[in-house]
């Protein structure tokens, strides 16, 4: 489990981030380590961050939220076609 972020700041592999997510009105703090860095066409860093020490309940909330968001985006896309 992890996240992909686009940021302006200079970062290095192995840097640790504290990530604050709002999932359905609940504020969740996660610790993550940068495991991949790419530069996009705008010269911004696109970072792959793996979550560290995530409680199983929090992991399930993230999975559920991601699934619901993806399903919502897909259903909106189908209606626009």
pLDDT at 25: 92
Model confidence at 81: pLDDT above 60: no
| b/e per residue 33-51 (b: at least 16 CB within 10 A) | ebeebeeeeeeebebbbeb
- What is the dihedral sign for C-alpha 22, 70, 62, 18? negative
What's 44's DSSP letter?
A: -
pLDDT at position 69 is 87
Number of helical (H) and strand (E) elements in the chain, helices listed first? 1, 4
pLDDT tens digits along 30-45: 999 999 999 999 889 9
pLDDT at 79: 59
């Amino acid at each position: 489990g992890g996240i992909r972020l686009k940021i302006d700041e200079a970062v290095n592999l192995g840097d640790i981030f504290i990530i604050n997510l709002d999932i359905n009105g609940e504020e969740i703090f996660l610790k993550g380590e940068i495991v991949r860095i790419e530069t996009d066409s705008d010269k911004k860093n696109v970072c792959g961050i793996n979550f560290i020490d995530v409680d199983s309940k929090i992991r399930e909330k993230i999975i559920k939220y991601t699934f619901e968001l993806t399903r919502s985006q897909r259903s909106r896309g189908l209606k626009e076609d």
